[in-house]
A and B are shown apart, each in its own frame.
Chain A
């Protein structure tokens, strides 16, 4: 895996996309401070950016990378190495570089602004963790899409559709359910529905560290319980599954496909 990982890292470094991604996040993060937001607010605003940009970018770059490596797969896979090693090199390389770009872009302004209070530092740490988890989730989904597709453009199309669905459309469904079925006691099903989506699970994970405490007056009993205690492990579980299952499926697809 290591030679492949080195190759992937070198290739990503040359492609400059991860750097552009990191710089975009850096600029966003900087801009928030420039608008006079404090650290907790900046974390909150970055959360919105994170749950939109990280899935989209990771899917796009991951699917592209998949096809880049498919291009010379004959050369690599004809060597006496396990396919799993080539696959793992791609996955680890992709997610490592994108995670670093994310941490660098989001975290750097906090470094020179100072971390502030303990709570703000914790919120930032959870945001960074959520971003990395989303990178792992969507890195796996990207390799799954890329491996299961024959052509680059349709695969990219599918990737963008998936990102749009999970980042925006899914929340639209949740919102419709929350408003349209307000007469029923739907807190639990709604919460479960939200946690099913990795993007929402990651968002809730960070929200738990943010301004929700002051808003609990506006939530029902179940939400209050959820937002109260032990909720972070509840939000982590679906995320862990969203990493493991697509990664396993992508691995299997990679093992089985013809090159």
Chain B
């Protein structure tokens, strides 16, 4: 039946054609909607008139849009010295040929988007980075990929910039010959959001910064720290995930930082910790979760901080408070399934512990107000010994240790009696959970 068959084929072809037209029309409309009104646009591609990013930038007027189509652009250092918007399509590779910085931004209002930037210089001279912005305002660096570089994205003396959704692959093998994934120096009011950094020295490094908003980043498997801050103030760190670095959140010589809703996990090994508060003042740690760290939080000469409603779960030591720290307030935290709760090197404690949940607490609550009627002393004798003599780890879970702890609890000789939670919670807060 050839007639019927032909008719059926025609109908089919017609349908396909109609679909294709509809699709094309919709796509056209979408593109039209995306396009800003009158900005001049330059397109760079391996077969275009403009074959190099550098040429396009030279040709571009301030405010121009530069579209970089997929391809390899190996031009050494590309300097962006006028306000332009560079957008990659299909992740064009910008290769620095291992010379110095790959993209160097020296103008305000520059956008760098969706490029794959790689191969910066590797000598420590001048700290070469994949993308470096120096002395600029209002830059936007987003959706880029960075690899094979000493530093990833580096902002010096920048303000009001946004660095977001970048993916940074480091190849760091030793801390002294590697740089940081996102490195901010002497910068203010920068938003660092949703980036992913793996395999650098520090994942996120902020020095002499103010008013940063750092959130939703992932920083893992870095040689040194996940999130490292020095000489900064008034930064907010939210909802970041730090994992399997040597240190998770490491804050030094800073004040008035806010650390909320972050997770710091699996920092294992010699001198590894979920958080280090060194010379940190007047900062807030709230709703963070520390799980599976050798030491969850170390306070060294940290003063006047608030550590509240954090979850300390399955760490070796939950808190290590050095005697130089005072006036810190630990309240409403949950301590569960840690090998040890608190160790300290002093006999006095000028820090306040109140209304925390301790899973080792065996007190009672006669008036049923949810608060234990006898205080909890979170420092055990064995934990103290272990802090001084690491070899004593051999005796972990020995009945002798239980006996010693029991005796010490009865007649305290060595553990600081001032370090106590006078109002321990009876019930574990609902938000606290173990990964059992």
Binding site for B on A (CB under 8 A): 35-41, 44, 47-48, 51-52, 116-117, 120, 167-168, 171-172, 174-175, 178-179, 182, 186-187, 190-191, 194, 200, 203-204, 206-207, 210-220, 223-224
Identify 9 new A-B residue pairs, CB closer than 8 A, beyond the known A213-B268, A217-B272: A117-B435, A120-B436, A171-B401, A174-B395, A175-B392, A203-B398, A207-B396, A215-B294, A220-B390
Bound complex: CA A168 to CA B270 (Å): 29
Contact assessment for A167 and B390 in the assembled complex, using a CB-CB cutoff below 8 Å: no
Bound complex: CA A212 to CA B428 (Å): 24
| A interface: dominant SS | helix
B399 beta carbon closer than 8 Å to chain A: yes
Q: Which residues of B contact A40 (CB under 8 A)?
A: 314, 337, 436
15 of the cross-chain contacts (CB-CB < 8 Å) are A48-B398, A48-B401, A51-B398, A168-B403, A174-B395, A178-B389, A178-B395, A186-B391, A191-B394, A203-B398, A204-B394, A214-B292, A216-B316, A218-B387, A219-B393
In the complex with contacts A44-B397, A168-B400, A171-B399, A216-B268 CB distance below 8 A: yes
Partner of A179, one of B293, B339, B385: B385
Bound complex: CA A37 to CA B434 (Å): 10
Report, as a range, how many residues of chain B touch the other chain.
35 or more
Contact assessment for B395 and A167 in the assembled complex, using a CB-CB cutoff below 8 Å: no
In the complex with contacts A36-B428, A190-B391, A207-B396, A215-B436 CB distance below 8 A: no
Question: Distance (Å) between the CB of A202 and the closest chain B CB?
Answer: 11
Of the listed residues B314, B387, B388, the one surrounded by the most CB atoms of chain A closer than 10 A to its CB is B314
Q: Which residues of A contact B269 (CB under 8 A)?
A: 216-217, 224
Question: Distance (Å) between the CB of A23 and the closest chain B CB?
Answer: 20
Residue of A nearest to B314 (CB): A214
Q: Which residues of B contact A172 (CB under 8 A)?
A: 400
Q: Which residues of B contact A190 (CB under 8 A)?
A: 391, 394
In the complex with contacts A37-B359, A216-B268, A207-B397 CB distance below 8 A: yes
Contact assessment for B337 and A219 in the assembled complex, using a CB-CB cutoff below 8 Å: no
B386 beta carbon closer than 8 Å to chain A: yes
Residue of B nearest to A223 (CB): B393
Contact assessment for A200 and B316 in the assembled complex, using a CB-CB cutoff below 8 Å: no
Q: Which residues of A contact B272 (CB under 8 A)?
A: 217
B295 beta carbon closer than 8 Å to chain A: yes
Bound complex: CA A172 to CA B295 (Å): 26
Of the listed residues A39, A187, A190, A211, the one surrounded by the most CB atoms of chain B closer than 10 A to its CB is A211
Partner of B388, one of A44, A179, A214, A223: A179
Q: Which residues of B contact A191 (CB under 8 A)?
A: 394
Q: Which residues of A contact B387 (CB under 8 A)?
A: 218
In the complex with contacts A117-B436, A171-B399, A214-B389 CB distance below 8 A: no
Bound complex: CA A217 to CA B385 (Å): 15
Total A-B residue contacts, Cβ distance less than 8 Å: 127
Residue of A nearest to B434 (CB): A38
Contact assessment for B314 and A216 in the assembled complex, using a CB-CB cutoff below 8 Å: no
Contact assessment for B436 and A116 in the assembled complex, using a CB-CB cutoff below 8 Å: yes
Partner of A217, one of B268, B337, B359, B399: B268
Contact residues of B between 250 and 279, Cβ < 8 Å to A? 268-273
Q: Which residues of A contact B149 (CB under 8 A)?
A: none
Can you list the 10 inter-chain pairs with the closest CB atoms, starting with the nearest? A217-B294, A171-B400, A215-B316, A214-B316, A38-B436, A52-B399, A178-B391, A178-B392, A171-B398, A211-B339
In the complex with contacts A38-B434, A117-B436, A217-B294, A167-B399 CB distance below 8 A: yes
In the complex with contacts A38-B434, A214-B339, A220-B394 CB distance below 8 A: no
Contact residues of B between 318 and 348, Cβ < 8 Å to A? 336-337, 339
Residue of B nearest to A119 (CB): B436
Bound complex: CA A144 to CA B105 (Å): 83
In the complex with contacts A41-B337, A51-B399, A52-B399, A214-B293 CB distance below 8 A: yes
Bound complex: CA A223 to CA B392 (Å): 10
Q: Which residues of B contact A186 (CB under 8 A)?
A: 391
Bound complex: CA A51 to CA B402 (Å): 12
Bound complex: CA A171 to CA B434 (Å): 31
Contact assessment for A168 and B295 in the assembled complex, using a CB-CB cutoff below 8 Å: no
Q: Which residues of A contact B435 (CB under 8 A)?
A: 117
Bound complex: CA A191 to CA B387 (Å): 18
B315 beta carbon closer than 8 Å to chain A: yes
Bound complex: CA A80 to CA B6 (Å): 103
Contact assessment for B389 and A38 in the assembled complex, using a CB-CB cutoff below 8 Å: no
Question: Distance (Å) between the CB of B41 and the closest chain A CB?
Answer: 55
Of the listed residues B292, B387, B389, B394, the one surrounded by the most CB atoms of chain A closer than 10 A to its CB is B394
In the complex with contacts A41-B337, A51-B399, A171-B400, A218-B385 CB distance below 8 A: no
Scan B269-310; emit 1 where CB is below 8 A from any A CB, else 0. 111110000000000000000001111000000000000000
Q: Which residues of A contact B403 (CB under 8 A)?
A: 168
Contact assessment for A36 and B397 in the assembled complex, using a CB-CB cutoff below 8 Å: no
Bound complex: CA A214 to CA B274 (Å): 11
Q: Which residues of B contact A219 (CB under 8 A)?
A: 390-391, 393
Bound complex: CA A186 to CA B339 (Å): 24
Contact assessment for A179 and B399 in the assembled complex, using a CB-CB cutoff below 8 Å: no
In the complex with contacts A214-B268, A214-B339, A200-B394 CB distance below 8 A: yes
